[in-house]
Structures are given as structure tokens and as C-alpha cells.
Amino acid sequence: MTAFNYKADFPILQQRVHGKPLVFLDSGVTSQKPRCVLDALTQHYSTDYSNVHRGIYQLSERATAAFEATRKKVSQMINAAHPHEIIFTSGTTESINLMASCFGRAHFKAGDEVILSVMEHHSNIVPWQVLQEQMGIKIKVIPINDKGELDLVVYKKLFSPQTKLVSIIHVSNVLGTVNPLQEIIEIAHAHQVPVLVDGAQAFPRMRVDVRALDCDFYTFSAHKAYGPTGVGILYGKAHLLEAMPPYKTGGAMIETVSFEKTTFTKIPYKFEAGTPNIADVVAFSSALHYMENIGIDNITRHEQVLHDYAIEKLKSVNGLKILGNAKNRLGVISFVMDGVHPHDIGTILDREGIAVRAGHHCAMPLMTHFNIPACVRISFGIYNTKEDVDVLVSALTVVQEVFA
């Protein structure tokens, strides 16, 4: 599988940086786009673009069809029961904010509880803290063991009659830990508590079947899955979405408006006020087709091979420590090096043409848990190869030379 060279499909990866070939190892923050997605964007604006769901002319019909085709495609790919369970947002962050605001108002009152974990991304912490301040809800946190795996024994004990939601990351954006969602969801459902899953790192790398998982809500971003920026997906079971009031209101999400009374329309449009990010949603279809043509299982295999290879190679670098070593891991690999700050590592790697991320990765509580201010993070996409890993490891010796 890794014999296929996907790098050639990505125009941006053909350049050199500081005289060296660009090696992009930061797909965890955002993925690069294949030519077919770029073409789809231009194509849409050149031939079909118009506002959606509103016009009675040809262009509008074509634009609407293309827009809704993406919704159908997403629904199909994650095995939702129906396309109207797919809501377009601006990204995972907005999806979770939507949940905190809308699910929050529908189901939480002062003293109610939400269960998060210590490995959550800030986007799945801060919105709940806002609810904490505004409404007086409580946040309970699932700890991790020293391997970077969730402590399910403690998790089970966190439930109370006040627990209204579990909101959990599928694949950690720092540790690469793949959380045991089936078990987590079963436990929550045994307490009649629904589960929201942050799938931002998961969806681009593995098959997601929301009905097999039986999660109540699932969210991810297009831009991490070879698609354009500004598009997010929030999946929710229909009856749960129907019970939630919208937070973003105005045009497109109403049935009738008068100064006496306004009524809202049905899902998904209830949550899609205003003009959506039309062309980017349309172009996202091409990214999804691109992924499917390669084969989701093939993508997972490709990622797992690279991931395991990288772990093995990094372990051989003196003074380098990988964060977490969960039994099931995929996606990102974070590490620190003795005597060199992540920032300095990142700058030196950049000079070798290698793009990595250095910082707290929007996971400060996790950094605090490991007692570090920051770490370096690498992550893979379909365009990466074992050679990329070799270049990285070689560049890490440059880092050691500079700081010798």
C-alpha cells in the first residue's frame, strides 16, 4: 500500500523550504488538499455557484443539489440513519460550542454534570466552563493512567443522577490514544446519559460508524480530512437534535416570522442559519470521494504502518521521550527531548524543511498532567512516507548537534 505515492496528488507538497523538500508532518493540525478538491472549488464557483435552498432558477438548483450531495455523502460514510442528522458547522470547535449552548439549554440546569477527560482539546473544555459559569453546571474529569489511557474504573464512578452528558475525544490529539468508545458509550447509556464524541483526529484516519458505536453525537472537521477550511460536521440522533433549540438564528432556519411569533424549521436546517459555506461544503465531497477511492481501511493501514515505524525510529533517538504509550494508538506522536525546548526543536526542523508542531496543542490540562510546558508533535496524512520519517530522525540528530 505504501508503494503508492500520493504526494504527487498534492500541489503544495511539491515545493522546497529553506532549500530542502517540504516534509509536512502536521496533518493533525490541518491536512493538505489534493488537486481534485482544489479543482472542485474552482469548478463550483465557475459553473454552479449560487445561494442554496432559496432560488427557483437553474444555478440555485444545481448548487443546492451539490451542497446536499455532500450531506448525503457524509451521512453514508459515517452510517447515520438519515442525512438530516448531519449538520454543517464551521468546524469541530463550533460543533461543540453548539452542543454546549443548545444541548446545554435543553437539558442542563444548575448542579447538573458533564463528564470530560483530562486529554480533551480546549474546544471540548472551554465551552463547558462557560456553561459552568453561566448556568452553574459541574465538570467531572476522567483521569488517565501513565500510559495515556483513560481510567475506566474511575470513569464508572463519576456518574451520578445529575450527569447529563459525556463529552469525549475519540483519538487524542496529543497522545494518539484511541479511546475505547464502545465501552465508554455502553457505560454512559447504562446510566441513560448520552455521549458526544470529538472525532477530529479520528475521522481522517479510520472508519467511523456512528450506529455501530451508538454514539449520540459525533463531530469532526473537513479541513483535517483533505477538505477545505470552514466546514465542520455535527452528527446527532434525530430525536436528540429535534429536542434542542438553535443558538444561531435568522434566515434559512425559520418556517414563518412575524413580530408576534416566529417558528423554526426542521433539522438539519434549524441549526444552519444564514448563508452556509457553500463552495467549501461542495468541495468537501471531492475530499470524501478521494478518501473512499483510496479506501478507508487502506488509509488506516497506511497510517498505522507509518505510526508504528515512527515510534520505533523515535525510540532509538537518545534523550527523546514519547508521550504516552497506549495499547491502541494512531494519528499523532508527541515527544520531548532532554535539554532542548520544543520550540527550538521545531525551528531547527523547519530549517531542514520539516513542518512539525511545537506547543501545548490546545491541551494545557494534559501538559500540566505530564508536567511539561510544551512538546513537539508529528502526525501523518496519506501523503507521508517512511522516507519522511527517516528525514525527521536524521534532522533530530542536527538538533542534538546544535545543542551538544
* Stretch 249-288: interaction string toward other proteins, x if CB under 8 A: ----------------------------------------
> 36, 102, 362, 375: which is the annotated catalytic residue?
362
Of 21-29, 89-97, 150-158, 355-363, the segment contacting other proteins by CB under 8 A is 355-363
d(CA 302, CA 221) in angstroms, rounded, equals 21
Select from 72, 341, 365, 393 the one that contacts other proteins (CB under 8 A).
341
Q: How far is the CB of 173 from other proteins (least distance, A)?
A: 16
CB 231 within 8 A of CB 283: no
Residue 30: burial class (beta carbons within 10 Å; 0-12, 13-18, 19+): middle
Q: Let me know if 375 is a catalytic residue.
A: no
d(CA 225, CA 234) in angstroms, rounded, equals 15
Q: Is 200 in the site for other proteins (CB under 8 A)?
A: no
Select from 234, 358, 378, 396 the one that contacts other proteins (CB under 8 A).
358
CB 219 within 8 A of CB 199: yes
Neighbours of 298 (CB within 10 A): 15
Select from 156, 211, 343, 386 the one that contacts other proteins (CB under 8 A).
343
Neighbours of 110 (CB within 10 A): 11
Q: Is 402 in the site for other proteins (CB under 8 A)?
A: yes
Neighbours of 28 (CB within 10 A): 27
Q: Is 187 in the site for other proteins (CB under 8 A)?
A: no
Q: How far is the CB of 72 from other proteins (least distance, A)?
A: 39
Select from 140, 223, 270, 360 the one that contacts other proteins (CB under 8 A).
360
Dihedral of CA atoms 20, 26, 29, 35 in degrees, nearest 10, equals: 60
d(CA 170, CA 237) in angstroms, rounded, equals 18
Instruction: Give, as ranges, the residues between 370 and 389 that touch other proteins (CB under 8 A).
Output: 373-374
Select from 340, 376, 391, 395 the one that contacts other proteins (CB under 8 A).
340
Size of the site for other proteins (CB under 8 A): 17
> Hey, what's the cell of 225?
480530512
CA distances in angstroms from 112 to 108, 131, 138, listed in the order given: 6, 10, 6
* Residue nearer to other proteins on the CB measure, 347 or 394: 347
Q: Is beta strand 232-236 parallel, antiparallel or unpaired with respect to 86-89?
A: antiparallel
Q: Is 17 in the site for other proteins (CB under 8 A)?
A: no
Q: Is 367 in the site for other proteins (CB under 8 A)?
A: yes
Q: Is 313 in the site for other proteins (CB under 8 A)?
A: no
Q: Is 344 in the site for other proteins (CB under 8 A)?
A: yes
* Residue nearer to other proteins on the CB measure, 64 or 123: 123
d(CA 225, CA 291) in angstroms, rounded, equals 8
As annotated, the active-site residues are: 362
Binding residues for other proteins (CB under 8 A): 339-344, 347-348, 351, 358-360, 367, 373-374, 402-403
